[in-house]
Amino acid sequence: MLLTHATLATMTGGYGLIPDAAVALEGARIAWAGPMADLPAPYRALPGHDCSGRLVTPGLIDCHTHAVHAGHRAVEFELRLKGASYEDIARAGGGILSTVTATRAASEDRLLTSALPRVDQLIAGGTTTVEVKSGYGLTVEDELKMLRAARRIADQRPVSVRTTHLAAHAIPPEYKGRATAYMAEVAIPSLRAARAEGLVDAVDAFCETIAFSTADLAPLFAEASALGLPVKLHAEQLTDQGGAAFAARHGALSADHLEYLSPDGTAAMAAAGTVAVILPGAFYTLRETQAPPVAALRAAGVPMAVATDLNPGSSPLASLTLAMNMACTLFRLTPEEALLGVTRHAARALGLTDRGRIAPGLRADLCLWDADHPAELAYRIGATPLHHRIFGGRLDA
């Protein structure tokens, strides 16, 4: 296929804009991209699709979701509006643990079918790669069940799925006060089993006063390294626990949330090349007041990704373009940083080098937008100006 007359945002450099551009696709890969006038003769005969000046970007990458889970937490939303805090609810056994109860009771098939409408919303917004975490099972079998359901999304829908093991998300009631035992008896064994079954691309954890300390997590990250798996961390979301620096010391792909990130944490991330994943949906939902230190991250040269954090508690958000808008308005990212955050830098946060930009040899995952400037994607509030999506070289029906 040949796309013609596109306004191309290649996302190499900044936007990497090329007006009146062409993109040649061969199978699932990009063969050539550049100005129409330079199109090599062999590609001119390919079946064409005239973009009529529309913006074409890489397919969007949602690098942080909890899209597989059972039930919802609308009642908790009501409780928070009556004055309870997220931490109060978690300490009272609600919050994440109420989703754990529902997820344990659901079959793998049920988890899959309930995730699909959420994934469909992401796809309708231009997502071509989605990361999905476990973390609401908290037993070996229930964590595996979540990861199997997540992997099966890719059989049902035109989207790439990357799975992340997050057994260290919360301490289940049966291990209350026994984080070390939970690590040894559930988190590490479920990771080994998931690895043996080929169900896991990365290892994540929730480092927080209401979850795990860096000391609790050290054996898990050591196991990840022994298994050859990259790590990530929910760090500094509600308090500063030194999580980002701990993750960076383990060569983490990303540290995520980061509202309470310290200057030391920022420096450690910069030195390790760890991506900062910015999650404005959770900040917005929990009405947090401290924004992540975006200016310091920018000054230190830490790449920033933006994701939905799609989950039933702190971020029931299934739109990456709305996450981009929030990242700009709430956190002062530029629209260019926000778009880099859902393309190039999101790919890096997942350890993927074959996508996130438009360049020869990369996957032919593209979005054609009813827009003519890339800043429009972050500028509109809650719009989905997707015209067409191309996944692995195929135009969506």
* Contact predicate 301/266, CB 8 Å: no
| Angle at which helices 188-196 and 140-156 cross, to 10° | 40
11: left (phi over 0), alpha (psi -120 to 50) or beta: left
On whether the CB atoms of residues 275 and 349 are closer than 8 A, the answer is: yes
Output the smallest distance, CB 238 to ligand DI6, in A: 9
User: What's the min distance (Å) between Cβ of 314 and ligand DI6?
Assistant: 4
If we measure between CA atoms, which residue out of 233, 244, 289, 241 comes closest to residue 266? Answer: 244
Q: Which is nearer to Fe ion, 216 or 309 (CB)?
A: 309
Selection from Fe ion, ligand DI6, none that 100 binds (CB < 5 to 8 A by kind) is none
Which chain residues interact with ligand DI6 by CB under 6 A? 66, 95-96, 99, 169, 206, 234, 237, 282, 309, 311-315
Question: CA 95, CA 52: separation in Å to the nearest integer?
Answer: 48
Residue closer to ligand DI6 by CB (options 286, 386) is: 286
Residue nearest Fe ion by beta-carbon distance: 309
Which partner from the list ligand DI6, Fe ion, none does 285 bind, CB cut-off 5 to 8 Å by kind? none
312 binds, among ligand DI6, Fe ion, none (CB under 5 to 8 A by kind): ligand DI6
Shortest distance, position 271 Cβ to ligand DI6, whole Å = 25
| β partners of residue 305 | 277
The residue nearest ligand DI6 at its CB is: 313
Q: Which does residue 313 touch among ligand DI6, Fe ion, none (CB within 5 to 8 A, set by kind)?
A: ligand DI6
Segment contacting Fe ion (CB under 5 A): 13-21, 89-97, 306-314, 384-392? 306-314
The CA distance from 223 to 109, in Å, is 30
CA distance 307 to 61: 8
Q: For the CB of residue 89, give the shortest distance to ligand DI6 in the complex, in Å.
A: 9
Asked whether 325 and 378 are in contact (CB, 8 A), the reply is yes
Q: Which of 142, 208, 216, 309 binds Fe ion (CB under 5 A)?
A: 309
| Among the residue ranges 2-10, 195-203, 308-316, 353-361, the one whose residues contact Fe ion (CB under 5 A) | 308-316
List the single partner that 357 binds among Fe ion, ligand DI6, none, CB under 5 to 8 Å by kind. Answer: none
Q: Which of Fe ion, ligand DI6, none is residue 237 near (CB under 5 to 8 Å by kind)?
A: ligand DI6
Nearer to ligand DI6, 99 or 114 (CB): 99
Alpha-carbon distance 188 to 301, whole Å?
34
Nearer residue to ligand DI6 within complex by CB, 130 or 386: 130
- Output 309 or 336, the one with its CB closest to ligand DI6: 309
Nearest-CA neighbor of 384 among 342, 341, 322, 327? 322
Length of the chain: 397
Q: How far is the CB of 317 from ligand DI6 (least distance, A)?
A: 11
In the bound state with ligand DI6, the residue whose beta carbon lies nearer, of 11 and 317, is 317
| Alpha-carbon distances, residue 139 vs 113, 173, 225, 361 (angstroms) | 21, 11, 22, 41
Q: Which is nearer to Fe ion, 272 or 278 (by Cβ)?
A: 278
Angle at alpha carbon of residue 144, lines to 140 and 149, rounded to 5°? 155
Name 162's bridge partners: 131
Q: Considering the complex, state which of residue 69 and residue 250 has its C-beta at the smaller distance from Fe ion.
A: 69
Report the nearest approach of Fe ion to the CB of residue 283 (Å). Answer: 12
Yes or no: say if 30 and 12 are a contact pair by the CB < 8 Å rule.
no
Whose CA is closest to 321, among 102, 357, 235, 329?
A: 329
Applying CB under 5 A, the residues found at the interface with Fe ion are 309
